[in-house]
Every structure is written in structure tokens, then in C-alpha cells.
Amino acid sequence: MKVPAFLGRILDGDGFARGTCFQFAPRITVTAWHVLVEIGCDEPDAEVEVDALDGSLPAFKAQFIAGDPACDLAVLLTERPLDGSVPGLAASAGVRLRTDGYVMGVPQIDDPGHEYGLLTATGHWEGPVQRDGVSLARFSSSSVLKGMSGAPLLRTADDVVLGVVSGRYRSGDGWLRDSVWISCAEHLAELLSAVPWLRLHDEIVIVDGAAGSILVPARPADMQEPGNSSGAGPGEAALEAATVLRDLDRSCRGPGGLGAVVDRLAVETALAARQDSVWALELRERLRRHGLDARILLPGLPGHDRAVDLWCAPLGDGVVRPREAWERLVQVVGDQIRGALFRHLSAGCRHHLTAALAGSTAAATRRFLGHLEALLPPLLSPSTEIVLVERGSEEVTLAEVPRQSGRTGHQALIGATAQRMCRLPPPDPYFLGRDELLTRICDGLVGNLESRGSAVTYLSGQPGAGTSAVAVEVARRLADRFTGGVYYLDLFGLDPERRRGPRTAVRILSEALGVGLSETATDESAALDLFLTALEGRNVLLLFDNVRDAAHVAPLVRRAASCAVIVTSRDRLQDLADPGLSFGVEPMFRAESVALLRMYAGERGGDGVALDDIAQLCADIPLALRVVGSWLVAAPETDLWHLRDILANEVTRLQYLDTGARPVGAAIALSYALLPDDGRRALRLMTAFPGAAVTARAYAHAAGLDPFKQGLVLHRLADQNLSERTLTVDVQGAKESSFALYELIRLFARERRDSQEDPEVLRAFQERAAWFLRDRLREITDLSPEAEFSGELDPEIFHAAEELAERLALMPTATDLALDLWLLYSARKEIDGIARMCQIRIRLHLRNGEPERAVTACHDTAEQLEKMGSPGLAADSYREALQISSAYRLPVPEARTHFKLSILLGRQGESSQALDHGRTAADLFSELGLHPDALSAMLNNVHLCGRLNEQADRLFWCEQALASPSIHLDQDKLSLAKYEAGRSHLALGELEIALPLIREAGEIDARIEAWSNAGITTTTLANVLIDLGRREEAFEALSRAVEHHSRHERTERLVAVLIKLSSWQVQADDYADASATLARAVQAVADLQNSDVAAPLRRETQIRALLLRELLGQDDSGGSSAPVLPNDDAAEDTNEELENALELVTRWKRGRVSGDEARHLLRELLSRPSLTYQPDEPLWFYENLAPEHERQAELGS
């Protein structure tokens, strides 16, 4: 870093440096007041010595001419100038917090034996401070030292002065540590304005993507040329203009970086209208209320008339005539664009703005206005700042997203993103000719649509022939015929790194159409079938651009009623198109080529012979013509015949290219040579960025440069037709352009990259690109508000980033990308994507020496596939984990995998295989001393043996579990082991052995308040006691089971046990207790809601209660009428035996059945347990092992 030539030193009488100073304008030098006080030179006309900080000049005299003690500022007039002056002053109101800055000055350091002549201190702007009634600012830096007082605080981005160093805050308690007090630039401006011969004015600058103003000394007329003489093209100029005009509008309405400029425009307009200050103040108020939207100034922008009408709306009584003020204001803005105020903008930007202000309709101006309009925010209404949305607007705001019918907020956001991705490219003002071809294509497509109900059209042409442009123009002309809409998708078929396959195309189109296939289409085949079926009758036009060949797009081309498809490709071989709908796109006619070049050449286009020769050298290929035309715009001094000779030489040099590629290659080489260094470097490095396109933010991050400046560079490439520019607008309204090199240009740039870029620089660029994309993918999976969700629909750029990271051996980055891609596909339930990413995760982990994590990747995938209903694929993933565990001798992961596979197979009913894996898991865990995990596996084996009715093995695993060192550490498992051992003995007919085991299990469950388990075990205990003839104990146990179940939410189990208890009470002729028990069951079942068994159980309890009353002769219905149930809600699947019992009662009452027979049959039925609900004991497993840290497969987790 060089020492700026505008920095100097303040010397005392002995020649020692006592402070720092800087030159604002030739011979006008600034320092801190207290520095002059310390050396006794603070009186008017006092003299002091100054020299250059870099030592390039000897000491010379300076005279004190103005000072402000309160603000600690002083101005000196030197007898000779320093070699440089600061770029200007920036008012503190327009400086963002934490803006980077630096101070360079003379430090006074106590370091014996060393002399320090210079120190640079970096830090951040921390905002305003009020001290003793004086406005100061605070700069945070630990390196500003005594002796640096009077030095300018410089903005790192452009060296503009933010203020002057006054002093450092010192505190023994550590408060406000590293704080430096800064005298504000606006106070310095006031002081400088008192210098009689110094005239100051504002100039607009763009820093960090925002417009602001700086105060500079007036320059002589011959110095008014802009600092940036670049011939910016329409897109680059539009980015500059949009930044300034947008911030100018904001500064009119409130605080902003261009507030001083707005005030100046109001004053200049009043002077131009020969009005007074009252008029100027009223105009300033109108600007505050109505702003100064670009549409007010530029007649070629859509909405201009509406914007002017709004701006001219009356504000009440006043002296300003709105229409006259508007006309004068536009005139003043035009004068300022041509003058000093806008001098820091590029010459191209000022040229296009001037032409647009004048209402020019030239193609370049229209293109500029098209780019500018896309970058501007929506028009605001006066005062209220409500966005005025034109009817039919395609933009979707975040507030509107959740209201889309039947879709969640995220789904609707994805749908809106997909719709944006499928929009046709904007109209091209340079598209001309091809009328006969367009007519043939349109007529043929419409004819087929009317006669056959659908149409498939195929366009092919050589590189650069404009095949895509023709297809887009056809789609635009036919758009009104397709009520379902026109959907455009570039498939990038020629670049393997960017190519979109059918799966990606369906993902994007289905979301754009609102079909929503992700829940049902888990693989590519299913997704294609569902999508193509959904197209039937939708009356849409699909345009698939840049396909590799017919096979690439064939899965997507199926004739759907009322729909049409257009396909473009370089490959002419195909069997997709309907008869007569295959068209070759040839080069342009010569007259059309010359007309296109004339649009670019402007005033130089009169020489038709030269233009004809240039068109011939370009072989009438549109891409070559456009590149050469952009060359003409960027180099207006170039003679047409000279250009013709250069182009002829270049075509000859490129003989090694195919004949068709030579003209385009020559045009590219010419444009490349014309580009500035940053443009050529950007063209080369764009080929090193993963994926289809790159934004300015992404490129700047990878290159380590300023995003706004790099945005200008990328727009310049697009303006010269070296790249394709696409404006993206997310659902929150944020706008950003992305850039993709045309295929031939990409090949050219890649060759230059490989031969000209430093490998280390290239690697650093690619590393930062991979990190950038990793972070963007993480934003998507985290559902961050800043996320760009087009990446969810088309994740190929992240695949490219993962492959790049792997090539660069950035294994952690590659692993992060692979995991987040796995999460992305898991959340979208795409089996093929999940499987693909699982294999990549495995490969990365194994390459990185992490086989355990490879096993975990298999487990993640298996669990996700099982959730998605693909247990077979899940089992395959577990088996792959077993292979890895075995190959790398990983006993713990192997045991875990056997355990998980056993559970999966058990759930699928493959109990024998499940038991094999369960045995292995239990044995391995035991050998490894992982006794808690072994216990879980043993108990799972118990369940599997029970299903297989292998009672001996079941008992074996129960005994193994009871012998486990961990069994007494988990009372729940101890209870289960005892209970299952008891059941095994029951199955073997060993009731006496089973009894104590089951009793102990029930006691444990009750002790740990596992009430549902306690109810089940105690019910089983009661059954055993009954079988042993111990009825009293059995009744007591079943009563306990009722109480256990009453403490649990499973009401149906409680009702079933109550019915069972009532049946035993009937068997014991204890009818009173049975009646009370059934009454309790009726009351309990009334609370049972939303259950498949609720209605049958409710009817059964009511019938049983009624039958018991009949049995006891307590029926009060009288006569021979049929019994009536309260709230008769018979379910369709009610029990036939219960219904027959009701019929039996009716026949009994009518004398058709004897009383003894009826009572015998009723007693027999009431002695049986529930007929509508038998509590099952479903197969379940212990699934938890020792803690495993796994990330859930959900976006936003």
C-alpha cells in the first residue's frame, strides 16, 4: 500500500513531527486545532512548517488561515502544494455503521532505539457522538496513537475523507476501549466554505453498491471530464443508473446518502425558473412528499405518464406550478448529468441517461431502459408509499405467497420461484428478420394443434444461428393461444456440468404449474408419468431450449391434449417432431445482417459496403454479428474498414476451428481483446465457477472483490453479447442478475483460462466458490429468509460445487454439500436423489478415512427410505452398511446395523431373517460389552420368537435378558423380560412357573407407573389364576387391572377389561356387581372419541347392560315391545351375536321363546368377554441404542 501523496506532517520549531495533515485542494491543508495549539501556532497568520508524510518533499511554510476550536479543526495555506489532494469529503449522515476505514499518520511511540515515521490504523465507523454540545463521530481502532491527530479518517473503499482525527478516548476502567474521536467532515466543509477563493460542490459516487455524495473543490472546465471514461453498455449503464436514481428517490423522501444532492437540485431548479427561496423550499417539500422516481424523469420507461401525473398532484395552495416545476427539474437533472455532479459515473451511463431524458427511441436506448426498468423498485404512490401494482403483473410478493390455494407458505414460495424460472426471456430489441421462418413455424404448430389436438415442434441450427431466439419469438407470438401459459426451460444440454435432466425439468415445471408431485412421485419414472398425465387439457406451451439431442428430452415429450412443445437443439437427428414440424434455423439473410449491424453502428452505418463485408465475414450468424456490433458500440472510434480488416485476419487465424465456428470465434477474439483487464479476467474465471450461471455477488465472493464493481464488469460482458443475462426477482422483491456464457464463448474463455490464469489464483477462486455455494445450500435446507429457492428446484449447481470441492480435496466442504443435498432430496421425498447422494456421502467418507460416517450415511438413508414406504431399498442400504463395517472391521457399527436391519425386517413380517440379524446384534453387543444395547436386541428377539412361535428360543432370549448386567438398571425392560418369560412358560403349559414371573412384572409396572403395561400384565395374571382355579385371587387381580387401565389414556382397554370382569361376575352369579361394572363401562365408553372401536364398543356395553336387566327381570319397557337402546348408534360392523341377542329378547317378550331358554342363552352370552374388541399386543421393538447424533431429514431442521 502506497502512502497517499495528499498526507503531510506538522513540524515544530525543531523540525520534529507533532501531528499529521492532509491536502484538500492544492495549497489548502487541514489538521487538528489542538496540534497547532501545542506548538504555539494557533493565532491568525501564524506560520508553521509542513512536509510530505512519504518524505518526497522537503519542509515548506504554511500559514494558519481558519480554525474551529470547538470542532478541533484548522485550515492552512501552504506556500507550495503537496503532490496530491483527497478525493473529497463525505458527510457523516450518509456513512453506514461499521464502514471500513483507516488512518495513516505520524505515531509517537515510546520505543527506545527506534524511530517511527508512519503508522496505518484500520477500524470501523461507529456513528455519531455528542460531546459538550458538539457533534463528533466515533471510530473504533486500537492503533491510532498520539501524533496522528489531524490525519484524515479515510474510507477504505475510495479514500474519501469521513472526518479528521481529534483525539483518543482514554479510560482506566476499559469503557469505550479503542474509541477515537473524529471531527465530522460536514464541520470541515463549513470551515472550508469560509475560504474566499475556494468553491465547493457535490459529486455523486457509488460505494459498496449505494449512491452517496462527496464534497469536492470546483474544478476548472477542462477538468470536468468524468473519472471513469468507460463506454458502458446498456446493462452496465443501467446498473449504475438504477443505483443512483433509486437512492436519489429515497433521499428525497427521507434521510439518505444523496440528501445534499436533492437540496442542490431544488435550488438549481429554482434558479433555472428564476424563482426565490420560498419556491425552492416548496419544491423541496414536493420532492419529500412525492419523491423523484426514475419514471418521472425518463419518458421511455413504462408508467411514465402515470408517474408524472402523481408527481404533479396538487399539495394545496402554493407558488409552485407542478408542471412547470417538473419540466424545469428534468432540464436541471439533464444539465447535471452532463456536468460535474454525475462525473464519477461512466461515460456510457451518462450517455444513455442523456439519451433517455431526451426521449430517444434508438435500439441501444430501448435496451438500456429495459434493463433499467427491471432493476427499479415498484412505483410508489405520493406520501403514503403504497406500491402501485399494475394489473397483470407477474411479480409475486412474499405477503401473497401463503394465500395461494391449498399450499403451505414454503410450497407456495417454491411455486412462485418455479414460475419465475420458467418465464420467457424478455423481448430482444435487436431481434429482426426471420419473418418467413417464423410464419411457417407458427402456422405449422397451430395447424397441428387444431387438427390433432397437440403439437411437437423441433428447431435445430448451427452454433450461434439464433435457434433459441427464433423459438422464443415463436412462443411469444403464440402466447395468447395458450390459456394455461407458456413455460420456458433451458436444459443446458451441451455442458455436462450444467445439464438439466428430465427429473430436474419435471421438478421445476410441476411446481410452476402447481401440480405438486413431490409427495407421490418418489422416483424419475413416477414423476414423469404423473407430470405428463397432469398436462392433459391444461392448454400450455412448453419450450425446452438447448437440449443435447432428442434422447435428452424424449422422456418429457408426450403428446398431451391441447398442449404443445417446442424443442431446440444443435443436433438435427430426431424422431420427436410431428410431420412437417421439424425446422432448420439457417443464418440470416444478408440484408437482415446488414440491418442488424447498422443498429449497432449508428451514425457510422451509412457505409453499406463495409457492413456487407463484415456481415459476410460473420457468415450472417447472429451471435457473431451481435458480438461484432457490441464491439462497434464499445469502440466508437474504430473505422468500419479497419474493423473489416481485423476481422478478416482473425477468421484466417482460426482455420483450426470448424467452418461454422470460425466467424463466431473471430468475433469473440476481437471482443476479448477490447475488454479491460477486469473484464477479461471475469470472462476466464466465470468458467471456473460451478454450475450454469453466476451472480455478481457469487463471482465477487469467489474473486474476493467488491460485488457492485464486479456487477458492472459482468453487465459489460453481457452488453458485449459475451454472456446471457437473466434478471431474477425473488418473492421478497430482491433483484439480482445472473450471467451465463454462451457455449462457444465458454469454450473460448476456458481455453484462455487454462493458458493465462495462475493455478494458485484459480484454485483460490474455486475454493471460495465452493464455500459460497455450500453456504447458499445451507440457507435452503435451513429455510432461511435469505435463501434463493431456485436451488431447491435445480440443485445441479450444488452438485457441481460438490464435485469441484472433491477435486480440490476440500473434503469437509464436499461432505457438507453432499449432506445438505441428501437433506434436500429427503425433504422432497425423491428416492433417486436420496440414493445418489447416499453413494456420494459414502465415497467421500471412505476417501476421507471415515468409514464410521459412511455407515451412518447408510443408516440415514435406510431410515428415510423406510419412512417413504420403500423398505426393500432401506434394507439394501443397511446391507451396504454391513459390507462397509465388515470390510473396515468396525464391530460397533456392524452390531448397530444388524440391530436396525432386524427391526426393519421384523416390521415387514420377515421374522426369520429379522431374528437372524437380531441374534447377531445381541451377540456382538455382548462381546463388545455394550450390555444396554445387547439387552434391547435380546428383548426384540423375544418378540420375534413369539411371532415365529419358537417358544424354546423365546424363553432362551428371556433368560439371556434376565441375566444381562444391565437388566436391573432399566425397570421397564426388567418387567418386559419377566412378563415374556412368563408367557413363554404359559405357551409350554408351565402355569406354576409362569405365575410368579407375570406377577412380578405387574408389580414392577405398577411401581414405575407404567399403567398400560401394568393393566396388561395384571390381566394376564388374572387369566392364569383362573386357569389354576384360584378364582378369588383372579377377581382381585382383574379388579387391579381395571384400576391400572383407568389411569391410562387407552380407554378402550379399560372398557374391554370391565366387560371381562362383568362376564366373570355373571359366571359367579354376582349379578349386582356385574350390573355396576357394566354401568361403569357404559360411562367410560361415553368418553371414547375418534376411534375405530368407539361405536361398536359403545353399542356392545349398552346391549350388555340391557340384556343383564332383562336377565334380572328389571326391564321397564313393558309389554311385548322390542328393547330400545338409549342413543342407538349402531355401527355397520357391530357384532352379529349381540344383534341376535336383542332379537332373542324381542321373541321372548312375544312368547316365541321360553323364559328358561332365553335366560340360559343370555347368561351364556354375558359370561363371555368382549365380542367387538379384543385388546391386541402388536409387535413392537426397542429401537433406541446409545445416543447417535443424527440430523433429521427435514428442511429447516
The whole-angstrom separation of Cα 512 and Cα 423 is 10
Whether 605 shows a pLDDT value over 80: the answer reads: no
The whole-angstrom separation of Cα 261 and Cα 251 is 9
pLDDT per position as a tens digit, 984-1010 = 999 889 999 999 999 999 999 999 998
Q: What element of type H or E holds 77?
A: strand 73-78
Whether 800 shows a pLDDT value over 70: the answer reads: yes
**Higher-scoring residue by pLDDT: 735, 214:** 214
Query: 806-829 burial, b for 16+ CB within 10 Å, e for fewer?
Result: beeebbebbbbbbbbbbbbbbbbb
Task: Give Cα 1069 to chain centroid, integer Å.
Answer: 74
Give the per-residue pLDDT at 731: 52
Question: What integer best gives the mean pLDDT of the chain?
Answer: 86
- pLDDT (mean) for 929-937: 93
The whole-angstrom separation of Cα 961 and Cα 980 is 10
Reported as a pLDDT band with limits 50, 70 and 90, residue 572 is confident
Whether 81 shows a pLDDT value over 60: the answer reads: yes
The whole-angstrom separation of Cα 1167 and Cα 1071 is 11
Least confident of 356-360, 461-465, 868-872, 902-906: 461-465
Whether 469 shows a pLDDT value over 90: the answer reads: yes
Whether 573 shows a pLDDT value over 80: the answer reads: yes
CA–CA distance from 452 to each of 480, 575, 582 (Å)?
Answer: 19, 17, 16
From the number of C-beta atoms within 10 Å of its C-beta (0-12, 13-18, 19+), residue 172 rates as exposed
Reported as a pLDDT band with limits 50, 70 and 90, residue 791 is confident
From the number of C-beta atoms within 10 Å of its C-beta (0-12, 13-18, 19+), residue 271 rates as middle
The whole-angstrom separation of Cα 490 and Cα 710 is 25
Angle between helical axes of 640-653 and 608-617 (0-180°, round to 10): 20
Over pLDDT 70: what percentage of the chain? Answer: 90
Q: What element of type H or E holds 824?
A: helix 811-827
pLDDT per position as a tens digit, 1029-1071 = 999 999 999 999 999 989 887 788 888 899 999 999 999 999 9
The whole-angstrom separation of Cα 1059 and Cα 1054 is 9
- pLDDT (mean) for 145-159: 93
Q: What element of type H or E holds 1017?
A: helix 1011-1027
The whole-angstrom separation of Cα 753 and Cα 760 is 12
The whole-angstrom separation of Cα 484 and Cα 1004 is 67
CA atoms within 13 A on the CB side of 574: 30
Task: Give Cα 1033 to chain centroid, integer Å.
Answer: 67
Give the per-residue pLDDT at 400: 33
Which residue type is seen at 1064? W
Beta-strand relationship, 455-461 and 582-585: parallel
**Higher-scoring residue by pLDDT: 583, 364:** 583
Is the entire prediction scored with pTM above 0.85?
no
Whether 405 shows a pLDDT value over 60: the answer reads: no
DSSP readout, 869-914? T-HHHHHHHHHHHHHHHHHTT-HHHHHHHHHHHHHHHHHTT-HHHH
Task: Give Cα 133 to chain centroid, integer Å.
Answer: 47
Whether 454 shows a pLDDT value over 60: the answer reads: yes
Q: Which residue, 787, 852, 800, 798, is CA-closest to 822? A: 798
List, in order, residues 6 or more apart from 1056 with CB less than 8 Å away.
1097, 1169, 1170, 1173, 1174, 1175
The side-by-side arrangement of strands in the sheet containing 735-741 is 694-695, 735-741, 723-729
pLDDT per position as a tens digit, 538-557 = 999 999 999 998 899 999 88
**Higher-scoring residue by pLDDT: 1017, 1176:** 1017
- How many residues belong to the chain? 1197
Reported as a pLDDT band with limits 50, 70 and 90, residue 390 is very low
Reported as a pLDDT band with limits 50, 70 and 90, residue 385 is very low
Instruction: Tell which phi-psi region holds residue 1113, choosing left (phi > 0), alpha (psi between -120 and 50) or beta.
Output: left
Structure-block grid coordinates of residue 69: 476550536
CA atoms within 13 A on the CB side of 860: 28
The whole-angstrom separation of Cα 542 and Cα 524 is 19
SS (H, E, C) 34-49: HHHHHCCCCCCCCEEE
